[in-house]
Amino acid sequence: MSEDIKKGLMGVTVDETAISKVMPEINSLTYRGYAAQDLCAKCKFEEVAYLILNGELPNKKQLKDFEKRENKERKISKSLINAIKSIPKTAHPMDVARTAVSIMGLEDKDASNNSPQANMRKVMRIFAKTPVALAAFYRARKGKKIIPPEKKLSFSENFFHMCFGKVPNKDIVKAFDVSLILYAEHSFNVSTFTARTITSSLSDIHGAITGAIASLKGPLHGGANEEVMHMMNKIKKPENALKWINNALDNKDVVMGFGHRVYKSGDSRVPTMREYFGKVAQIKKDKKFEKIYDIVEKVMIERKNIHPNVDYPTGPTYHLMGFDTDFFTPIFVISRITGWSAHIFEQHAANKLIRPLASYNGNQHRKVTQLNQR
């Protein structure tokens, strides 16, 4: 292999962005210059969504207008509801998310208009409707009546309402809000780069987000939070954790929820999410997964010097909230739509077709022989 090849584009800087950065001087992921953990402490998700999409934190009027706009766009069409009802109950919700956004693109009157104003209108529709579509599938596959969105509820409250028919206490809602903030944006990750690559051909925003969803589904990206829960369910109880993790490392198995290409000494989002994982566990009076978490984390750091990433605490937190495991990554989607959209705007603003080169290592020139001579 040529020394010039950078597999996975590792270490390659391909463009500029003003949306987010892991700032080593404060050891933190930042959105538009604000530390993510500070945003979690002082803002609700809607404020952070506004920040990512518009570049600045909103004042009271701007936030109210933004929330009003999102509320107005929540309702999904009858044709989309019927499509969701017709989807096999065994379908993965990530495939439902991908399909729902595609259908929204078919229905959107601005679909072929890539102007900044039209793209923002489309983003607000995708942002508002995707949670509604996913919650509809959550209910439909269980044979339950679909619950329409409620305008008076916040973004997070509304998602709980549509999935479960009720809103949990404010501490659970805050923990969910925090998870959405931490998942909202993360620079040139694989799904964001997918969205930017699609956008670079001047394709439409629904197509770019559909592609990003397909990319996020993979277990090496967003699907990791689901794999963490599968791992914890295999371990079953804290007494099994030490033996399980040591056996996994002895067998050189991949342990999901650990390591990150950007963070070398620990994901800066983890302490915040770990704190809210603990709060949810306390509210639910279920410390089992916390104990498993601590044992596996300790061994991974001691034996491999590999720290957890944000998927590690998020998976069991969503489980304790009552969500099905295969819905963990779709929750990631409803948050990351903000980051993807901001990158799509940024790509449009200074676009150049993304078209890398490849080093050919196949056969040299060969002559074609007739069929009867082969």
| Element at 30 (helix H, strand E) | strand 28-31
What CA–CA distance (Å, rounded) separates 45 from 35?
14
The active-site residue out of 92, 221, 324, 326 is 221
**161: annotated active-site residue:** no
Task: Give buried/exposed letters for 348-367 (b at 16+ CB in 10 A, else e).
Answer: beeeeeeeeeeeeeeeeeee
In order, the DSSP letters of 149-177 are P-TTS-HHHHHHHHHHSS---HHHHHHHH
CB–CB of 327/318 below 8 Å?
yes
**Is-catalytic flag, 307?**
no
DSSP SS3 for 306: coil
User: Which residue in 177, 311, 319, 343 is the catalytic one?
Assistant: 311
Encoded amino acid at 160, one letter? F
Percent of the chain as helix, strand, coil, to the nearest 5: 60, 5, 35
CA 210 – CA 135 distance, rounded (Å): 18
Q: Which of 161, 186, 206, 260 is catalytic?
A: 260
Residue at token pair 């292999």: 1
Q: Residue 125 is encoded by which pair of tokens? A: 């529709």
CB 169 within 8 Å of CB 28 = no
Q: Is 260 a catalytic residue?
A: yes
Contact 197, 215 (CB under 8 A): no
Beta bridge partners of 28: 23
Catalytic residue annotation:
221, 260, 311
